Amino acid sequence: MVFPIENHKEFAHLRGDQQVLLCLCNCEEILAIRKLVLEAFGYEVLAADDIQGINTLTEQPVDVAILDYRARGTNGELIAIKTKILQPLTPIVLLVDDPASVPESVARLTSAIVKREYSPVGLLQEIARILHDDSGSGSRAFSVRPVA
C-alpha cells in the first residue's frame, strides 16, 4: 500500500531504512493501521499484542519499541519495564491520551511520549529523531508530540 504523503519531499526525512520497529497494542485494528503506515515509510514493523511483543523482544533486537500506554487491557508501565529489562538500550516511544497522566517513573524509561490524537506525522518525526540521534546511546532527549 502506498500513501501519497510518503512521496512528498516534505516528508522524505521521515522515511526509514528498514530499521526494525516493534509496535505493541492490544487493539488489532489500531495495530494494523499503525503497521501499514510505518511500513509505507520504509520501516520493518513487528506488530504484536503485549504478550507476543515481550516474546519478540527475547528473540530479536529492535531499533525502537512503540508502546500504547493505555490500550485495552494493557499495563503500559509493566510493558515499558519489561522492554527495558530485555533490551535496555532500545528506545521506547510511548503513545498516550494525556502526557500529563504518565508517572515520572514511566516517563524516565521513554525516549518520547507522543499524544495519539493527531496525525501519524508526529510519531514518524519522533522515530526519525530517535534513529538519527548521533549519540548512539539508548537514552534520548525527551519530547512530547501529538499523533493519531
> Domain total for the chain?
1
In a 3-state reduction of DSSP, which class is residue 44? strand
Closest CA to 111 of 137, 85, 146: 137
pLDDT at 84 over 90: yes
Per-residue pLDDT band at 120 (split at 50, 70, 90):
confident
- The arithmetic mean of pLDDT across residues 82-108, rounded, is 92
Whichever domain contains 125, its CATH number is 3.40.50.2300
pLDDT of the residue at 114 = 92
pTM summary value: 0.78
- The arithmetic mean of pLDDT across residues 5-18, rounded, is 50
Question: 136 — alpha (psi -120 to 50), left (phi > 0) or beta?
Answer: left
- Listed in order, strand segments (DSSP E) in the chain are 20-24, 44-48, 64-68, 92-96, 112-115, 144-146
- Which triple of cell numbers denotes residue 148? 493519531
Per-residue pLDDT band at 142 (split at 50, 70, 90):
very low
- Structural domain including 94 reads 4-146
